């Protein structure tokens, strides 16, 4: 287990914030995907599934070693960071394909069934959405994270 340290938030990089991700497979896949896209810091709400759960660690396929992961009260984290943009995944946000992302900021991914909590939502400066062309009601949190990170790196 890694020692607990303060999260490193850089204005020149994106930090991934996870609001109440409950499925260990989703968390592991999100960590692995973040590693693929060069995200170095993930901060998860205290309600998020345990980082060291065997299913989480297995799903990361080793990426947990390269990611700085910490748990914190996301509202407190965002309250301290008033200068960086905060992008949040919503069903009614701006089309992610039309956004010119800056080189740094926060990306918030919400709970698989409830989305981003109201206490975190009030800090979102840019609501983004992945346009839906079919009839599915929602995307898996890990898949949505991958699509959004791909667009950030585009």
Residue 22: exposure state from Cβ atoms within 10 A (0-12, 13-18, ≥19) = middle
Predicted pLDDT at 132: 95
Alpha carbon distance 2, 134 (integer Å): 42
Q: Does residue 138 carry a pLDDT above 90? A: no
Average pLDDT value for residue range 19-25? 95
Boundaries of every domain in the chain:
14-153
Q: pTM to 2 decimals?
A: 0.94
Predicted pLDDT at 3: 75
In the CATH hierarchy, which fold is given to the domain comprising 14-153? Alpha/beta knot (3.40.1280)
Angle at 49 between CA 131 and CA 68, to 5 degrees: 85
Structure tokens, 40: 């170095």
Predicted pLDDT at 102: 96
- Percent of the chain beyond pLDDT 70? 100
């Amino acid at each position: 287990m890694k020692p607990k340290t303060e999260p490193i938030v850089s204005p020149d990089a994106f930090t991934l914030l996870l609001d109440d991700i409950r499925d260990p497979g989703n968390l592991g896949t999100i960590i692995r995907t973040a590693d693929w896209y060069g995200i170095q810091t993930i901060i998860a709400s205290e309600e998020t599934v345990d980082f060291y759960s065997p299913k989480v660690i297995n799903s990361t396929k080793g990426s947990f070693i390269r990611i700085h992961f910490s748990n914190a009260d996301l509202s407190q984290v965002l309250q301290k960071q008033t200068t960086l943009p905060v992008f949040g995944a919503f069903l009614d946000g701006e089309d992610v394909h039309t956004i010119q992302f800056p080189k740094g900021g926060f990306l918030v991914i919400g709970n698989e069934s409830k989305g981003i909590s109201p206490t975190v939502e009030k800090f979102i400066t840019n609501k983004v959405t992945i346009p839906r062309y079919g009839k599915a009601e929602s995307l898996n949190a890990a898949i949505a994270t991958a699509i959004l990170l791909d667009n950030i790196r585009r």
